[in-house]
Structure formats: structure tokens, C-alpha cells
Structure 1
Amino acid sequence: MLSTRVYGMLVLAGFAGAIHAQAPAKPPAIEAFAKGVQIYACKPSNGNYAWVLKAPDANLSDAGGHALGKHFAGPSWQATDGSVVVGETLNSSPSPDAGAVAWLVLHAKSHTGAGEMASVQYVVRTRTEGGLAPAAGCDAAHAGSEVRVPYSAVYLFFRGA
């Protein structure tokens, strides 16, 4: 079995083009295990209705189970020291697990605070389980309703040079 660090670097290496040129070559500064939910809202879409991602809501911990922070709308990650990084997706790849949300590479678009997240430049979401929107149940009768779908993932945070 590959270590998470090697596995994460392979994920980065798997994204071609701009990611290959931009991704840092050093190991992740922070490795976080997320456990929570993906929140979806039922909204009108092109004459029908569809589940649309509203926000994630997850706790982040280290390999020993110690709290590192939380993940929420933005997408944002907040460390226990209060620092925040907000990301924007650079690339997405389907999860090898057909029942899980995609693996992502995100670039930091903003930061708040001077702590752990202040110098994060890239975030990689990998090893996802669950979190996909329901296949049914969103119609006119359920417009405006929300569902919370359990998910877990590993987030790798890479700092700039």
C-alpha cells in the first residue's frame, strides 16, 4: 500500500497540463482526514429539478484523530488557529469509487489569518468515499429542500515555495 504522501503526489502527477507545471514538488504541509457531509439543495434547472451542491460540512483531523479544523462553503478550510484558505478548482477527476465525489486539485484564491492555512497554495482532495447527490427525490414537491450526504476524503495542503 502506498503512503498517503506518495499517493497524493501520484494524484498530482496524474493531472496533466497546467497542474503538472504548477504543482509543488515537496510533500504536503498538512494532511487532513475529513469526515462530514455534502449538503445538496433541490433547485429548478432547465425546466426540471436537480440536486445542486450547497456546501460541504466536515471536520478535519490528523492521522491520530486530533482536530485540525473544518471544511465548509467557499470551498474553505479553517485550521483550529482560525486561519482560512479558500480554493478554486483547477482540475477534477472522477473518483475510482463510482459512489464517491470527484478528486480535485484546487488553487488558493484567498487567505485569512496568519496561521497554518496562511501559506497554503494548493489543496488536493483524494481518497473520497460517498458524498454524491441523490439520483432521485428532487422535484417540484421538494423544491428548496436539502439533503445531507455523508462523505469522507483526504485533503493534502501544499505550501508555496
Structure 2
Amino acid sequence: VGTYFGPPATWQAKDGSKVTGTQLAVAPSSPGNLPYQLVKANPAEGKGAMSDVSYIQRVALKGGVAPSAECTAANKGKQEVVKYQADYIFWAAN
């Protein structure tokens, strides 16, 4: 359907339309998972799937929390892979 990248948080549809947003609210999910999130969409760039999006919700979360290990000189340059999965619901007023 599309991709998510940032900063700033950006959702881009395969048709090239894209939207950024401003976080309105978060709510805790289960331990080890990112929080639920509600975002108010900014005006979209381009015409397409993202054109009329007004809100975006992040739900069904799995992972995404940074490792608990501290950054120290001993682990300088070490990379960690943090798995993350979520569903995003796009709300449009039509």
C-alpha cells in the first residue's frame, strides 16, 4: 500500500501522494511495544490515496521499543535491530 519513514513521520502511498502529521495523543500498549498513537494529518502532498486523510491511528502493535542497554564506550558503534509491526488506520472525512 505504501511506506512509512521519517523524520518527520511521513506516510507515502504507492501513487506518490504523502502526508505528515502532528501527534495528538498516545496511550500505553503492552510491555515491549510502542504506544498507541493518534495523529492529525497535515495537508497532503500530491493527489491520490493520501489526499483526504485527516487522522491516522497506530494500532495492533508488536515491538519497536529501543533496547534497554546503555550507550557506553564499550558498545560504541554497535548496531541493534529492533523489530516493529503495526497497523495504521487512515481516516478521511468524505
TM-score (norm 2): 0.88
Residues 94, 69 of structure 1: alpha-carbon distance in 2 compared, 3 angstrom cutoff: same
In the alignment, which of 102, 106, 114 is matched to residue 35 of structure 2?
102
Give yes or no for the alignment of 1:83 onto 2:17: yes
Q: Is 2:67 aligned against 1:134?
A: yes
Deviation at 1:139, TM superposition (A): 2.3
**Distance change (3 Å), C-alpha of 1:131 and 1:113:** same
Corresponding position of 1:37: none
Counterparts of 1:117 and 1:123, CA distance in 2: 11
- Partner of residue 54 from structure 2, selected from 92, 100, 121: 121
Tell me the distance in 1 between the aligned counterparts of 2:46 and 2:77. Answer: 34
Classify the secondary structure of the residue corresponding to 1:147: coil
Higher relative contact order (CA 8 A, sep 6+): 1
Once the 2 structures are TM-superposed, how far is the Cα of residue 116 of structure 1 from its aligned partner? 0.2
Deviations 1:104-126 (CA, angstroms, capped at 9, x unpaired): 00001242110000110100001
Matches within 5 A, 1:1-161: 68-73=1-6, 74-95=8-29, 97-142=30-75, 146-161=79-94
Cα RMSD after superposing both structures: 1.7
Higher helix residue share: 1
Over the matched positions of the two proteins, sequence identity in percent amounts to 38
In the alignment, what sits opposite 1:31?
Answer: none
Q: Which runs of 5+ in 2 are unaligned?
A: none
The structure whose residues are more often strand, as a share, is 1
Query: Which sections of structure 1, spanning at least 5 residues, go unmatched?
Result: 1-67
> What whole-Å deviation, never above 9, does each CA across 1:88-118 have from its counterpart, x for those lacking one?
11000111x2110010000012421100001
Per the TM alignment, residue 142 of structure 1 is displaced from its structure 2 partner at its CA by 4.5
Cα drift, residue 82 of structure 1: 0.5
C-alpha distance 138-119 of structure 1, shift in aligned 2 (>3 A): same
CA distance in 2, matches of 1:139, 1:102: 27
